[in-house]
A = this chain, B = another copy of it.
Amino acid sequence: MNHYPQPIIALIKNLSRLPGIGGKTAERLAIHILRAPRREAEQLAHSILELKAKIRFCRRCFALSDSELCKICSDVERSDELLCVVEQPADMAAIEKSGAFKGRYHILQGVLSPMDGIGPDDIRLNELFDRLRHGDVKELVLATGTSVEGEATAAYIQQHVARMPVKVSRIASGVPVGGDLKYVDQVTLKKAMESRHAF
């Protein structure tokens, strides 16, 4: 790496801070950027700066947004009666890609994790309970992850919401579609077996 001029070394160093990008890949990317048309490199640099300047969190659901209310919160076509709770913006994007949900979202921006010192006040739980108290939500879909923390967070929300007139559901766990049974882990298989339903 020290066999390159300083500006290349600087870029390699900055690129290798990104997740999953090691030294070799960073070197390859830097050389690519060097050879790419100037316009392309400038677009990349500007889109990084613009991202940091323009993106903020939606005032209501805490999704990533470039305006005060995100696209989904300001969409009049969506149902106010269905609210889906997820951990992170990428989870919301994944559900949106599936096209299976037409309600609104609430992004917790984390999960309860006592081991890491993350309690109920560190994630957007109070804002969620406020929305449930003052909104028209009829069904709350808990779509936090299936990790220990995700399950614990879902259980915590369920307990808190128990006395409210809101139906609470949890996304199903089971064998992935197209998945080969012999490669599925035992805990998932156990879940899939327990949640079996009439065919």
Q: How many residues in A have their beta carbons less than 8 Å from beta carbons of B?
A: 55
User: Which of B21, B47, B93 is A3 in contact with, Cβ under 8 Å?
Assistant: B93
Alpha-carbon gap, A48 to B34, bound state (A): 8
Count of identical protomers in the assembly: 2
Report the bound CA distance from A21 to B11 in whole Å.
Answer: 17
Bound CA span A49–B34, Å: 10
**In chain A, residues 1-59, which have Cβ atoms closer than 8 Å to a Cβ of chain B?**
1, 3-8, 10-11, 13-15, 17-21, 25, 27-34, 36, 38, 40-52, 54-55
A10 touches B66 (CB 8 A): no
Which residues from chain B contact A93 at a C-beta distance below 8 Å? 1, 3-4, 27
CB-nearest residue of chain B to A70:
B5
Contact flag A49-B55 (CB < 8 Å), given A6-B66, A25-B20, A66-B7? no
Extra A-B contacts (14), CB below 8 Å, given A3-B93, A33-B52: A3-B97, A5-B55, A5-B65, A5-B67, A5-B70, A7-B47, A8-B64, A11-B48, A18-B29, A19-B32, A33-B48, A42-B48, A44-B48, A45-B46
